[in-house]
């Protein structure tokens, strides 16, 4: 479903991604872990062209998205993205935040959009917040709205960039719970995360990155219980 071939990304002289190769299958949940600055977010951002790779190719299904002819709007519709800092529109209520893009992009009727909005709010456990503005939501609620907004596009793949890092600890579980449900429903997901419990329990595969390289990838059991590389072992002993 996603194939990353010899991907490189530099910012000026700083080479942030160095020869990344990955293959993500449909319905797979891949968790990307690693120290701060190792290139995890940049990798994720290259998957939907928020960053343009310096070299290499990224295929989504059979389309090489690094091709200059890629329709970026269509690509972003297929790849829902959830950021660390929610990025909700402050002047729009929850419903407006969620329904803005599908209305614009898909031309659904108002009734269909309303129905979709309520279904999505149910999925993220926020049916009572439909008319509330972001400033009156907790961080965890904002993040769940952000997930609903991404799902409104009916994406084939969801990309999560440290979705719980900015949250108070008591909010983390609700957001991870929504993500866990999505995984159970068979959503293909790439999750950059510092939540090792989530990576171990929900991830089908775990990718450990350091200094722009994929050091090791494998099942959660392989990575967490029996890492092959000393660097993976050292990282995990620090964070666990
Ligand atoms: N737009 C940019 N311009 C210049 N340097 C950048 C840019 N984006 C990222 N970098 C640099 O690329 C490196 C990797 O950053 P990235 O955010 O991908 O790491 P990360 O593993 O996601 O880190 P964290 O866990 O702290 O979010 C860092 O050194 C960062 O400063």
Query: Which pLDDT score is estimated for 110?
Result: 83
Query: Which pLDDT score is estimated for 109?
Result: 82
| Closest residue to atom 13 of ligand 1, CA basis | 37
| Residues 9/209, Cβ–Cβ less than 8 Å | no
| Residues 144/125, Cβ–Cβ less than 8 Å | yes
Q: Which of 1, 3, 16 has the alpha carbon at shortest distance from 53?
A: 16
Query: Which pLDDT score is estimated for 107?
Result: 75
For a ligand 1 pocket test, name from 37, 166, 207 the mutation site with the most ligand atoms within 8 angstroms of its C-beta.
37
Instruction: Kindly give the distance from the C-alpha atom of residue 211 to the centroid of ligand 1, in angstroms, as a whole number.
Output: 10
Contacts of 128-135 with C-beta under 8 Å, sequence gap 24+, read 129/94, 130/93, 130/94, 130/95, 131/93, 131/94, 131/95, 132/93, 132/94, 133/90, 133/91, 133/92, 133/93, 133/94, 134/86, 134/88, 134/89, 134/90, 134/92, 134/94, 134/97, 135/90
CB of 37 sitting under 6 A from ligand 1:
yes
Query: Which pLDDT score is estimated for 106?
Result: 65
Query: Which pLDDT score is estimated for 113?
Result: 81
Query: Which pLDDT score is estimated for 114?
Result: 87
Tokens 């990282």, located at residue: 235
Q: Which of 125, 218, 222, 128 has the alpha carbon at shortest distance from 176?
A: 125
Query: Which pLDDT score is estimated for 218?
Result: 98
Mean pLDDT per segment of 10 residues, for the chain of length 240 residues? 97 97 97 97 95 96 87 87 94 94 70 89 97 97 96 94 94 96 98 97 98 98 97 95
Query: Which pLDDT score is estimated for 103?
Result: 62
Rama region for 27: left / alpha / beta (φ>0; ψ in -120 to 50; rest): left
Query: What is the pTM (predicted TM-score) of this model?
Result: 0.95
Query: Which pLDDT score is estimated for 130?
Result: 96
| Closest residue to atom 28 of ligand 1, CA basis | 37
Instruction: Kindly give the distance from the C-alpha atom of residue 231 to the centroid of ligand 1, in angstroms, as a whole number.
Output: 20
């Amino acid at each position: 479903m996603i194939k990353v071939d010899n991907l490189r990304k530099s910012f000026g002289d700083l080479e942030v991604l160095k020869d990344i190769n990955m293959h993500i299958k449909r319905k797979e949940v891949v968790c990307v872990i690693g120290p701060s600055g190792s290139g995890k977010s940049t990798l994720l951002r290259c998957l939907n062209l928020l960053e343009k790779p310096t070299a290499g190719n990224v295929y989504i299904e059979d389309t090489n998205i690094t091709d200059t002819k890629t329709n970026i709007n269509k690509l972003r519709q297929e790849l829902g993205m959830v950021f660390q800092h929610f990025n909700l529109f402050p002047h729009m209520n929850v419903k407006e935040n969620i329904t803005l893009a599908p209305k614009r992009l898909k031309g659904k009727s108002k009734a269909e959009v309303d129905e979709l909005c309520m279904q999505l709010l149910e999925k993220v456990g926020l049916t009572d917040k439909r008319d509330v503005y972001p400033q009156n939501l907790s961080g965890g609620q904002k993040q769940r709205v952000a997930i609903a907004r991404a799902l409104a596009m009916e994406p084939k793949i969801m990309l999560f960039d440290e979705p719980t890092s900015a949250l108070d600890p008591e909010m983390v579980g609700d957001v991870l719970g929504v993500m866990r449900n999505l995984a159970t429903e068979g959503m293909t997901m790439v999750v950059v995360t510092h939540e090792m419990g989530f990576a171990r329990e929900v991830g089908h595969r775990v990718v450990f990155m350091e200094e722009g390289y994929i050091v090791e990838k494998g099942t959660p059991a392989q990575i967490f219980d029996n890492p092959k590389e000393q660097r993976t072992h050292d990282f995990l002993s620090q964070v666990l």
